Amino acid sequence: DQQVKQNSPSLSVQEGRISILNCDYTNSMFDYFLWYKKYPAEGPTFLISISSIKDKNEDGRFTVFLNKSAKHLSLHIVPSQPGDSAVYFCAALDTPLVFGKGTRLSVIA
């Protein structure tokens, strides 16, 4: 059974608008979460993380929100740019990292 779930395989957003990518997890012991971004023909690269002691972490255009009671986190990208088009993976920090299946974001100019 998947412990980290990304239920939207794909998302299309217009340039300049907000992109919201969602992630749910089942294990309440997870206390640190990460988002990775993956371009075609490249490995995933770390984007942003959040600890369970926080409910929000912001880095430029990227903000991650954590709702522990709902076991849900989301990544907001504002404003979205065409270069943000990639696959985004949500991961829970365990050893090893536990990944969701990813959401393909397409930002349309």
Partner 1 sequence: DAGVIQSPRHEVTEMGQEVTLRCKPISGHDYLFWYRQTMMRGLELLIYFNNNVPIDDSGMPEDRFSAKMPNASFSTLKIQPSEPRDSAVYFCASRVLGLGRNTEAFFGQGTRLTVV
The residue among 15 and 62 lying less far from partner 1, judged by its C-beta, is 62
> Which conformational region is residue 48 in: left (phi greater than 0), alpha (psi within -120 to 50 degrees), or beta?
beta
Token pair 């340039």: residue: 15
The amino acid sitting at 89 is F
Structure tokens at 31: 């206390």
- CB of 59: closest distance to partner 1 in angstroms? 13
Q: Of these, 8, 11, 22, 32, which contacts partner 1 (CB under 8 A)?
A: 32
71 in contact with partner 1 (CB under 8 A): no
How many Cα atoms are found within 13 Å in the side-chain-facing hemisphere of 43?
Answer: 2
Kind of pairing, strands 62-67 and 56-59?
A: antiparallel
13 in contact with partner 1 (CB under 8 A): no
Q: Of these, 25, 30, 88, 89, which contacts partner 1 (CB under 8 A)?
A: 89
Binding site for partner 1 (CB under 8 A): 6, 32, 34, 36, 41-46, 49, 51, 89, 93, 95-102
